[in-house]
Structure 1
Amino acid sequence: MTALTKYDRLEATALWRPEEGAQRLDVLLSLGDATLTISDMRENVLNHWSLPAIQRVNPGERPAIFRPGDDATEELETEDDEMIRALEKVRKLIERRRPHPGRLRHWVTAGVLVSLLLLAVFWLPGALRSYTVSVVPEPTRAAIGQQILTRIGRITGQECRGREGRLVLTQMARTTTGNPNLRVVVLSSGVQTAKHLPGNITLLNRALIEDFEHPDVLAGFLLAEELRRDMTDPLLPLLDHVGLRGTVQLLTTGDMPDIAIDQYAEDLLIAPQSDLPATALLKRFEAQGISVKPYAYALDLTGETTLGLIEADPVPEASARELLSDDDWVRLQGVCGE
């Protein structure tokens, strides 16, 4: 079956050798629907070749030589361009329709390799980060947080160390946030308002203490930063920053490259704060009995961008709980002056 109607009953002359070593004979070729008929010059049929079995011995050369099969010694030799083109087209058509188990295997193998590559590029890094975050113990987190804090200290200067003020701040921060392990560090510069680090460390700008008359604003920033810590594990941004290599090193050795820590510390100081969902933030203030208005106005003096928080304040200022006594607030305000 040729499926090439333009070649139906195509005829040409050729030289035919019936077997190896035999004399070549002049013959007529007739291309049929499924066979190639070989006849002598008197049109006596000498043989029929099945089209699907025909093989070309010398591709690209002239005259073209064909055989009726891989192991056959019978041969045809022709220079007729039309017949050669017809036989080549028939052979290619049949080859395309023939099953190719090896080709299928190659496609399957290629598909598997591509799938593995996609997993390695898109799934593995994220999965590895998530797994690393889940297995890193608290002591390692604390050590990493201290490494970052040390590097930040080289940029911003040392933390405020007023003893009495630090004692008051620690007690207030832990009571306000409900985090008994929270460590709060006050910096003179570098941090615009507040940031958090792995190991339950929160950084504050001294202005949150010194520029306000009451501790409500400070409490608001502590609550907001604790909510950010709860929503996104502090290790995740660090692992995103150091990439796959740094993640593997942390997972296998428990350490982070110093240069990666240095770069992350510098980027952390200038990175914008992530937005917080208003509903979750309001619930956090309500649970602690703290008014959200002082915090909202500290974010925007006009209140225009924080109007939603102000209008939905779940705790009126008049009924908000007292955070510090006047004496403790004075002590806290002196944390950077001793």
Structure 2
Amino acid sequence: MTALSEYERLEAIGIWRPDADAQRREVILSLGDATLVLSEVRSGTALAHWSLPAMHRRNPGKRPAIFAPSEEPGEELEVEDETMIAAIEKVHAMIAAQRPHPGRLRGVLIGAVLLAVGAVALFWLPSALVDHAARVAPQAKRVEIGRKLLSEMVKMTGAACHSPGGDRALSALAERLPGQSAIAVLPQALEGARLLPGGMTVVGRDTINGPDTPEVVAGYIIAAQNSAAGERPLHRMLDRLGPAAALRLLTTGDLPESGLAEYAQDLLQRPPARADSDTLLRAFREAGVSATPYAYALDPTGESVLGLIEADPFKGQPAPKPVLEDAQWVALQDICSAQ
């Protein structure tokens, strides 16, 4: 049995759990002739080889798709990528078609082909439309969408906090952290940080009012930049709004106002899943920020974030450059005092 030629070199991201008690981790999926190869994201080292004919789907028709290498419980794989799901289902359809069914072989073959065509039309085309729209949108349009999202968010949270000294501190923080064009502080209804299209990040008042060090708000921003979804902010937004919104962005350059309002509310209420400790520690190291203050902000006991604390790249020693000077940090903490 060989995979179809149109899926040669097909790769996607999945979430793999080696056994029932193991921590879930992000892996690269590669569709081969008869196997699905699971590889480590950073090094590319192969972690497991699953036989395509033996693979079993545990939640037919649902998303994300959950696969297992056999009927036995324990090891499993979550797949969000519609193209990869369609490819695996197509291979399984071909396997079913090749099995002998006396008197029904022709009907099974026809049904498998129709199923494959329908799967491609239903799953691959909408996903491809979203991918294309997110990829070709110019930076100016991303910034515009980010600002519109912020405008929708402040309708629910109140106006973003401002003060002369606080605004200067936010500018310094944006310059200090990689990948940031601007940072806004919302006075209420938001906990943690959210990354918007165009490089803007919004943070909740809780990230600056309670902590005694700017490493906490920096940590929330770094975590938002490296969420477990692993997607660009615009792609995540279009994936949530659907292919119709992606098509409208491609043809008119705009998004539906109702969709912007709906997604803004969704951002406030549902933070993206936190990335695994290895991914976060790598990001903290590259940003030159200690992970320990952020970890204790998540869990004051430290029990659930022990990996971030024990492997902190700057544990016991100062970071190469302060996140903010003391005067800047004081000014940032006071930015919402007039609201």
- Shorter-normalised TM range: 0.5 to 0.7
Q: Give the secondary-structure state (helix, strand or coil) at the position aligned to 1:220.
A: helix
Match of 1:328 in 2: 328
Match of 2:8 in 1: none
Match of 1:158 in 2: 159
Offset at residue 288 of structure 1 (A)? 2.8
Is the Cα–Cα contact under 8 Å of residues 228 and 275 in structure 2 kept in the other structure? Answer: no
Looking at structure 2, the residues matched to 139 and 220 of structure 1 have their Cα atoms a distance apart, in angstroms, of 27
- Structure 2 CA distance for partners of 1:113 and 1:251, relative to 1, 3 Å: farther
Is the Cα–Cα contact under 8 Å of residues 173 and 219 in structure 1 kept in the other structure? Answer: no
Looking at structure 1, the residues matched to 136 and 272 of structure 2 have their Cα atoms a distance apart, in angstroms, of 27
- Structure 2 CA distance for partners of 1:298 and 1:126, relative to 1, 3 Å: same
Q: Give the secondary-structure state (helix, strand or coil) at the position aligned to 1:318.
A: coil
Is the Cα–Cα contact under 8 Å of residues 222 and 284 in structure 2 kept in the other structure? Answer: yes
Is the Cα–Cα contact under 8 Å of residues 196 and 229 in structure 1 kept in the other structure? Answer: no
1:227-266 equivalent positions in 2, closer than 5 A: 227-228=226-227, 231-266=230-265
Q: Give the secondary-structure state (helix, strand or coil) at the position aligned to 1:228.
A: coil
Offset at residue 117 of structure 1 (A)? 2.5
Is the Cα–Cα contact under 8 Å of residues 173 and 222 in structure 1 kept in the other structure? Answer: no
Opposite residue 301 of structure 1, the aligned amino acid is P
Which has the larger helix fraction? 1
Match of 1:172 in 2: 173
Which region of structure 1 is more displaced relative to structure 2, 232-241 or 306-315?
232-241
TM-score scaled to structure 1, two decimals? 0.64
Offset at residue 300 of structure 1 (A)? 0.3
Looking at structure 1, the residues matched to 283 and 175 of structure 2 have their Cα atoms a distance apart, in angstroms, of 14
Match of 1:188 in 2: 187
Deviations along 1:98-125, one digit per CA (max 9) or x if unpaired, are xxxxxx9999988765543321101111
Opposite residue 164 of structure 2, the aligned amino acid is R
Report whether the alignment pairs 1:319 with 2:318. yes
Is the Cα–Cα contact under 8 Å of residues 290 and 315 in structure 1 kept in the other structure? Answer: yes
Match of 1:16 in 2: none
Match of 1:198 in 2: 197
Q: Give the secondary-structure state (helix, strand or coil) at the position aligned to 1:190.
A: coil
Which region of structure 1 is more displaced relative to structure 2, 228-237 or 263-272?
228-237
Deviations along 1:147-187, one digit per CA (max 9) or x if unpaired, are 11111111111000112211111212321x222x5210100
Which region of structure 1 is more displaced relative to structure 2, 247-256 or 106-115?
106-115
- Report the number of matched residues: 233
TM-score scaled to structure 2, two decimals? 0.63
Match of 2:209 in 1: 210
Deviations along 1:265-290, one digit per CA (max 9) or x if unpaired, are 11121113312121121112222332
For structure 1, which runs of at least 5 residues remain unmatched after alignment? Answer: 1-103
Deviations along 1:219-246, one digit per CA (max 9) or x if unpaired, are 2112212223993111122112221211
1:6-155 equivalent positions in 2, closer than 5 A: 114-155=115-156
Looking at structure 2, the residues matched to 278 and 126 of structure 1 have their Cα atoms a distance apart, in angstroms, of 29
- Structure 2 CA distance for partners of 1:229 and 1:277, relative to 1, 3 Å: closer
| Largest Rg, 1 or 2 | 1
Looking at structure 2, the residues matched to 148 and 242 of structure 1 have their Cα atoms a distance apart, in angstroms, of 13
Opposite residue 214 of structure 2, the aligned amino acid is P
Is the Cα–Cα contact under 8 Å of residues 228 and 276 in structure 2 kept in the other structure? Answer: no
Name the Cα RMSD after superposition: 2.4
Match of 1:269 in 2: 268
Match of 1:301 in 2: 300
Looking at structure 2, the residues matched to 273 and 307 of structure 1 have their Cα atoms a distance apart, in angstroms, of 21
Deviations along 1:89-148, one digit per CA (max 9) or x if unpaired, are xxxxxxxxxxxxxxx999998876554332110111111111111101111111111111
Identity rate, percent: 37
For structure 2, which runs of at least 5 residues remain unmatched after alignment? Answer: 1-104
Is the Cα–Cα contact under 8 Å of residues 194 and 224 in structure 2 kept in the other structure? Answer: yes
Is the Cα–Cα contact under 8 Å of residues 228 and 273 in structure 2 kept in the other structure? Answer: no
Looking at structure 1, the residues matched to 323 and 163 of structure 2 have their Cα atoms a distance apart, in angstroms, of 20
Looking at structure 2, the residues matched to 324 and 237 of structure 1 have their Cα atoms a distance apart, in angstroms, of 30
Is the Cα–Cα contact under 8 Å of residues 300 and 306 in structure 1 kept in the other structure? Answer: yes
